[in-house]
């Protein structure tokens, strides 16, 4: 295998297609995948592998997944066991020679190709728009050719108005960068991406300024950082800056708690031990009582129910971002001003259009998919967020006691209930449901 690889890498002349063809021809039929030992098809991303491992590697990087291993990264990856541990399989992909740089180069190639195709379509639409304008401008007597020539030389304002009124331009175009900005905003959020769960204890992996990897225990990132992330979401969506301060604060305070839950439960899709860690912290905060056991059991049950729905729906990274944006842009929120509701609705439509464009399906298919996601996830998310907001212990566990002050600091006046306004005492399952 090494000889084959060296022969293919020494080719200095010829096109890229010729290189690929030679690799396919030179690769022996009995070559095996360097990751799982299955029959290899060719070299992918720098390593000789099968198509299954290639697709797995590509999907992991595309979705930017966070993985963990129950056995400290010592799983044996074979053809029969390659689906048992995603963490060890991805680790072996990198160890076998697959490189992120090759994936990024390949992705940029397809993005460039897609943008080129899109540009050509836009150019064709512009030409068609000009033809529509000429037809609309020629609404004079067909025998008066002089008047027709004068009409064609109308002002730019008239021309743009005619184009806007034409049927070709009547459909609103999605903002090209909205989804890209949201994805970038998600990637730069301050909460750690890499984490490990061992014996119901969470360890986050971060990188110090000197490049050293540091492991720190704890579960919830500070709320002020999460609020900053929520504000970054607002900036990424663009026209949100035009809203009044009261509307900004209202949408942010209703979103931030759901954002915390969604972020944590998305990680729990790979390892539900994170829910055990949450329950452990609640046990430590509560005094021993029957109410504690009932409430903790109910809260953990709802968390697991949410994760199971997310797994069953096969929620992807992009879909998670779209759901966050749809929940954030709640144009039906109580106390939202009329102008704010209209502005939020326009932004939500732009986000949905960008989702349709990303999936490359028809609008109806994407709308049904988005409806299924929100209809399944939103009700449970509402229950969990209200439980956190109305229960003193949960507010303390999720570091939510200073939410009002932080929202006022970053955005403006907030109406989030302060800690002093919360009644002392533990909530039972019935109490929680009554409050909700």
Q: pLDDT for 343-397, tens place per residue?
A: 888 878 877 777 777 776 677 788 788 888 888 888 999 888 888 888 777 877 7
Range of the domain at 273: 178-435
Task: Supply the pLDDT for residue 301.
Answer: 87
Choose one of 144, 169, 194: the last residue of a domain: 169
Using a cut of 0.75, tell me whether the model's pTM lies above it: no
Residue 190 sits in a domain whose CATH number is 1.10.565.10
**Pair 308, 367 in one domain:** yes
Q: Which of 253, 232, 228 is CA-nearest to residue 182?
A: 232
- The DSSP code for 197 is E
**Pair 240, 93 in one domain:** no
> How many other C-beta atoms are found inside a 10 Å radius of the C-beta of residue 113?
10
**Pair 152, 94 in one domain:** no
**Pair 272, 398 in one domain:** yes
**Enclosing H/E stretch for 108:** helix 100-137
70 contacts: CB under 8 Å, gap ≥ 6:
85, 271
Token pair of 417, please?
């209930």
**Inter-axis angle of helices 403-410 and 223-236, to 10 degrees?**
40
pLDDT along the chain (436 residues), means of 10: 40 40 54 88 86 87 84 86 89 90 78 57 50 37 33 40 32 51 64 52 58 54 60 60 75 81 82 77 67 71 90 86 84 80 81 75 79 88 86 76 70 51 40 40
223 contacts: CB under 8 Å, gap ≥ 6:
256, 260, 398, 399, 400, 402, 403, 406
**Pair 150, 242 in one domain:** no
**Pair 113, 204 in one domain:** no
User: Where does 27-95 have alpha helices with state H?
Assistant: 51-63, 86-95
Contacts 24+ apart (CB under 8 A), 126-134: 128/168, 129/163, 129/166, 129/168, 129/169, 132/162, 132/163, 132/166, 132/167, 132/168, 133/159, 133/162, 133/163, 133/166
Question: How far is the C-alpha of 113 from the C-alpha of 107, rounded, in Å?
Answer: 10
Question: How far is the C-alpha of 58 from the C-alpha of 46, rounded, in Å?
Answer: 13
pLDDT digit string, tens, across residues 168-211: 332 333 445 567 767 766 665 545 445 555 555 555 555 556 66
Token pair of 344, please?
């939020």
- 288 to 199, 244, 292, 294: CA distances (angstroms): 22, 46, 7, 11
Residue 85 sits in a domain whose CATH number is 3.30.50.10
**Pair 314, 165 in one domain:** no
Task: Supply the pLDDT for residue 88.
Answer: 92
| Tally of domains in the chain | 3
Q: With 0-12 CB in 10 A as exposed, 13-18 as middle and 19+ as buried, what is 142?
A: exposed
């Amino acid at each position: 295998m090494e000889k084959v690889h060296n022969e293919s890498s020494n080719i200095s002349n010829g096109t890229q297609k010729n290189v690929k063809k030679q690799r396919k021809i030179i690769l022996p039929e009995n070559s095996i995948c360097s990751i799982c030992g299955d029959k290899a098809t060719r070299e992918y991303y720098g390593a000789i592998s099968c198509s299954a491992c290639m697709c797995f590697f590509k999907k992991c990087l595309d979705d930017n997944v966070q993985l963990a291993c129950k056995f400290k990264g010592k799983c044996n990856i074979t053809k029969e066991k390659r689906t048992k541990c995603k963490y060890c399989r991805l680790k072996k992909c990198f160890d076998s020679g697959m490189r992120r740089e090759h994936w990024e180069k390949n992705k940029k190639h397809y993005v460039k190709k897609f943008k080129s195709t899109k540009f050509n379509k836009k150019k064709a639409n512009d030409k068609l728009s000009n033809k529509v304008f000429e037809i609309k401008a020629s609404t004079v007597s067909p025998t008066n050719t002089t008047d027709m020539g004068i009409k064609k030389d109308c002002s730019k304002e008239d021309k743009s108005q005619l184009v806007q009124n034409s049927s070709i331009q009547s459909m609103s175009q999605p903002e090209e960068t909205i989804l890209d900005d949201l994805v970038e905003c998600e990637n730069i959020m301050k909460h750690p991406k890499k984490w490990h769960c061992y014996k119901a204890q969470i360890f986050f992996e971060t990188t110090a300024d000197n490049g050293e990897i540091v492991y720190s225990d704890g579960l919830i990132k500070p709320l002020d950082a999460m609020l900053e992330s929520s504000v970054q979401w607002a900036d990424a969506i663009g026209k949100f800056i035009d809203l009044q301060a009261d509307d900004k604060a209202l949408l942010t305070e209703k979103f931030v708690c759901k954002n915390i839950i969604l972020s944590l439960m998305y990680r729990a899709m790979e390892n539900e031990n994170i829910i055990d860690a949450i329950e452990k912290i609640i046990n430590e905060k509560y005094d021993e009582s029957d109410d504690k056991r009932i409430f903790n059991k109910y809260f953990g049950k709802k968390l697991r129910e949410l994760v199971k729905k997310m797994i069953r729906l096969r929620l992807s990274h992009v879909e998670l971002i779209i759901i966050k944006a749809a929940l954030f842009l709640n144009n039906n929120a109580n106390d939202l001003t009329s102008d704010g509701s209209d502005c939020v609705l326009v932004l939500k439509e732009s986000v949905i259009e960008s989702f349709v464009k990303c999936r490359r399906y028809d609008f109806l298919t994407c709308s049904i998919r988005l409806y299924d996601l929100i209809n399944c996830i939103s009700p449970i998310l509402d229950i969990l967020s209200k439980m956190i907001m109305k229960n003193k212990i949960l507010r303390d566990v999720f570091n939510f006691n200073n939410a009002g002050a932080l929202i006022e600091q970053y955005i403006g006046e907030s109406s989030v209930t302060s800690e002093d306004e919360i009644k002392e005492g533990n909530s039972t399952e019935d109490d929680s449901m009554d409050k909700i």
